[in-house]
Structure 1
Amino acid sequence: MAQPDLEFLGVAPEDEELYRFLLRTGGAEPGELSGTPEDDPTGPAPDPGEACRRITGLGLAVEGTNGVLRPVPPAKAVERLVELRVKERREELEGAVGSTGIVDSLLAEREAGALSGAALAERGGAPIQHLEGLDEVRAAIDELTFFTRTESLTTYPRGTLSPQGIANSRAMDLRILRRGIRMRTLMGSGALDDPTTLAYLRELAAKGAEIRVSHQPLERVIICDRAAALTPIDPANTAKGAILTREAGLVAALVSLFERMWDTAQELPVGADGPDAGDGLPTEIERKILKSLYAADKDESGARDLGISVRTYRKHVAALMQRLDATNRFQAALLARERGWL
C-alpha cells in the first residue's frame, strides 16, 4: 500500500520530506537539511534557510532559540494545514462573491420587494410580512443572516436550547462570527441551569459573541443590521409563525427594547461551576488530556506528562471521544476546539 502524502493539504513533496526527516530525527540544525534523502545530488544545493522558512510557515516545524529546527507533533501540524486550506478556500469563495456582484444582485431583488410593499401600503395594505409556520420562519432567518453585514441581535426568553436546536443553529452562528459581524445574544435565566445550553453559549463566547443572561422577562426578537426584525405572531406559541418588518420606525422601537433588556442583564458566567459537569463543559483534567492529544504522540507520554496512569489516561480519552462523537483522537481534538473547550 502506497504511503499517504500531504500534497492534498498544500505541502510540496520536498517540504513533506523535510518534515518526515525531522520526525525521524527529532530535530536538526538548518545546515543538516541540505542532506535529506530526497535531495538530487546532481542538482544545485538547496538553500537551508529557505527550507526552514517554508516548513515553519506551514506550521510543520518550530525553530528553537539555539537554532535547532524541531517538528510540530503530527496531529497539531495536520490541524494547522487543514485550517490554512479552509482559510484559503473561504477567501477564494468570498473573493468570487465580491467580484460577481451576486450580493448586490440579490439585494436589488429585496429592494424591489420593499418597493412593492410600499406601493401596497399606499393602497391600504400592510407593509410587513406574516410568516406562517416554522419552515417559513427558518427560511426568513437564513435569508436575514446571509445579508447581515454589521450586527445581529437575538433574544431567547426561555433560556434553554435543545441539542437539535443547537445543531441547527451552529453553522449559521459560526458563519456570522467568522465574518466579523457583532453578535449580541440575550438568554433567559434558564440557561444557567442547563449544561448543554451553557456549553454552547461558552463556545460562541470563545469565538467572539457577546452573551448576557437576564433574570427579567424577555421578549422574543431577532434584529439584523438594525434594518429588519422578526417577532413571533404569538409569543406563547412561536410555532405559529412570525412577523417580519423592515419598517424603520418599528425596527427602531424593537432595537430600543433590546437595548433596555440588554442593560439590565448580567454577563455570561465564566468558568466551571455547578452546571459545568456531566454532559456540559469538560473538567480541568479532561481539558489537559484534550490538549495532550496535540502534543503527545503516545498514551504513555501523555499520561506521564499529566502525572496519571496510562489506564486512567485511556479511560478519559475514550469517554471524551464518546461525548464528542469522534471516530479518532485527532477528530476529538478538532471537535473540542470547535466547541470552545480548548
Structure 2
Amino acid sequence: MGNPLAFLGVNEEEERLYRTLLRRGSSSPASGTQEPGPDSHPPFEESALDRLVALGIATRNTQGAVRPVPPPRAVDALIDGRLRRLREELESEATRHSVIESLFLERLTAPSSPRSDAADGGQMITQLHGIEAVREAIDELTFFARTEDLTTEPTGVLTEESIAVSHPINMRLLRRGVRMRMIMGSAIMQDDTTLTYMRELVSHGAEVRISHHPIERVIIVDRSAALTPINPAHTSVGALLVREPGLVATLVTLFERMWEAAEELPGEDADMPSDIEREILALLREADKDETAARRLGVSVRTYRKHLSTIMRRLGAANRVEAALLAHEKGWLS
C-alpha cells in the first residue's frame, strides 16, 4: 500500500497505527490486555499514540483511550498542519534574508508621496493619508510584531471587507505567539458577523473585551509604535503613525485603563446568567436596599451595583423592575 500520507507529514509507522485504530475503533487499555488467541491484538505503544494525537488525527479521552479522528477531519488537520509549518518556514526565511527590509529600500528612490510616508520609520510622527496607506502601515507593523498587539474598535462593528483584510493578519500574529488584546464597542453584541469573528480569534488565543463606555481608536504594536486616526470622527481620512517613546507610552497607559474598565467577551453559551447574577436577580424581589442585598451576598455595595449594571445591559432593561420582569420572561428566574 506504500505510504499515501507521507506528503502530509505522516511516516509509515504513524499511518499504519492510524489505519489500525480505524479498524479497531480505539486503543482502550483492554485492547492490549486481552487473553491470547487468534483474534488478540498487540498493545499500542503510548509514544506512538501520543504522536497521532499531536498530529491531530487521534484524540485521547479522560480514561486514556485513544480514538481515531474521522478520515475527513484527520486529512483536514494534516493539511492545516502542513500549511502552518510551511508558512512558518517561509516567514522565517523571509526574516532571515531581510526580504521586507530590502523591498522597503526601493522606496528611498521613489518620488515623495502621501502613501510613501508609511515606510518612513525614521520619523517620530508620520501622517498617513487614506485608508490604503493606513492598511499598508498596519501590514508593516504587524509583520515585524514580536510580543504584543493592542487594538480598539470604538464602533464595535467590522464590515465584511475589514474582516477579510484583518483575518490573515491577526491569524499570523496568533500563530507566532504574539499576545493580542482587543477592546470592542458594545455594539458588537448586536452584530453576529463581528461577534463570530471575535470568538474565532479568542479560540486561537486572542483576548477580547467589550467596553460599554466611549473608547479611543488606537493600534499599538510591541509598545514601540502606534496608530491613531487623524480625525476620530472620519477614520478614512488617515492616521498618525507614532514612534515617539513618550507618546507611545501614554497611549499604552490609555489602552490599559480602557482594558480594565471593559468586560470579558461572553462565550457562545453566555445567554444564561452566572450564579451570582441569579442571586442578584432573586434579591431584586426580596431586598429593598443595595446595602442589604450586598451584605447578604457577601460583597461590597460597589461590586453589587457593578454586577447589577451588567445584568441590566444584558437584558436591555431601563430600570430594576424591568430587569426583574425581563429576567422572568427569559427563564432566568424560577
| Fold match by TM threshold 0.5 | yes
Instruction: Among all aligned residue pairs of Structure 1 and Structure 2, give the percentage whose two residues are the same amino acid.
Output: 50
User: 1:246-280, CA deviations, whole angstroms, 9 ceiling, x for partnerless residues?
Assistant: 112222222222222222222222343569xxxxx
Q: Is the 8 A contact 1:58 1:81 kept in 2?
A: no
Matched, 1:129 2:126: yes
Cα RMSD (Å)? 4.0
Q: 1:259 aligns with which of 247, 256, 259?
A: 256
2:15 maps to amino acid: E
Matched, 1:197 2:194: yes
Unaligned runs of 5+ in 1: 33-47, 118-126, 276-342
Q: Is the 8 A contact 2:14 2:52 kept in 1?
A: no
1:251 maps to amino acid: V
Q: CA deviation at 1:31?
A: 11
Q: Is the 8 A contact 2:3 2:12 kept in 1?
A: no
Determine the structure 2 residue equivalent to 1:303.
Answer: none
Q: 1:218 aligns with which of 215, 223, 226?
A: 215
Greater length-normalized contact order (CA 8 Å, ≥ 6 residues apart): 1
Matched, 1:7 2:1: no
Q: TM-score, normalised by structure 2?
A: 0.61
Determine the structure 1 residue equivalent to 2:86.
Answer: 89
Matched, 1:243 2:240: yes
1:177 maps to amino acid: L
2:266 maps to amino acid: P
Matched, 1:180 2:177: yes
Matched, 1:58 2:57: no
Q: TM-score, normalised by structure 1?
A: 0.60
The number of equivalent residue pairs is: 248
Determine the structure 2 residue equivalent to 1:168.
Answer: 165
User: Which whole-Å CA distance do the structure 1 matches of 2:218 and 2:67 have between them?
Assistant: 52
User: Which whole-Å CA distance do the structure 1 matches of 2:260 and 2:61 have between them?
Assistant: 49
Residue aligned with 1:258, SS: helix
Taking a change above 3 Å as real, the CA distance of residues 97 and 193 of structure 1, as seen in their structure-2 partners, is: same
User: 1:288-321, CA deviations, whole angstroms, 9 ceiling, x for partnerless residues?
Assistant: xxxxxxxxxxxxxxxxxxxxxxxxxxxxxxxxxx
Taking a change above 3 Å as real, the CA distance of residues 95 and 58 of structure 1, as seen in their structure-2 partners, is: farther
Q: Is the 8 A contact 2:49 2:66 kept in 1?
A: no
* Bigger shift: residues 212-221 or 264-273: 264-273
2:202 maps to amino acid: A
Taking a change above 3 Å as real, the CA distance of residues 25 and 154 of structure 1, as seen in their structure-2 partners, is: closer
Determine the structure 2 residue equivalent to 1:229.
Answer: 226
Determine the structure 2 residue equivalent to 1:156.
Answer: 153
Q: CA deviation at 1:94?
A: 4.7
Q: CA deviation at 1:190?
A: 0.9
Q: CA deviation at 1:198?
A: 1.6
Taking a change above 3 Å as real, the CA distance of residues 77 and 30 of structure 1, as seen in their structure-2 partners, is: farther
Determine the structure 1 residue equivalent to 2:322.
Answer: none
Taking a change above 3 Å as real, the CA distance of residues 195 and 273 of structure 1, as seen in their structure-2 partners, is: farther
User: Which whole-Å CA distance do the structure 2 matches of 1:64 and 1:149 have between them?
Assistant: 35
Determine the structure 1 residue equivalent to 2:140.
Answer: 143
User: Which whole-Å CA distance do the structure 1 matches of 2:82 and 2:232 have between them?
Assistant: 44
Residue aligned with 1:58, SS: helix
Q: CA deviation at 1:69?
A: 7.7
Unaligned runs of 5+ in 2: 35-41, 109-116, 273-334
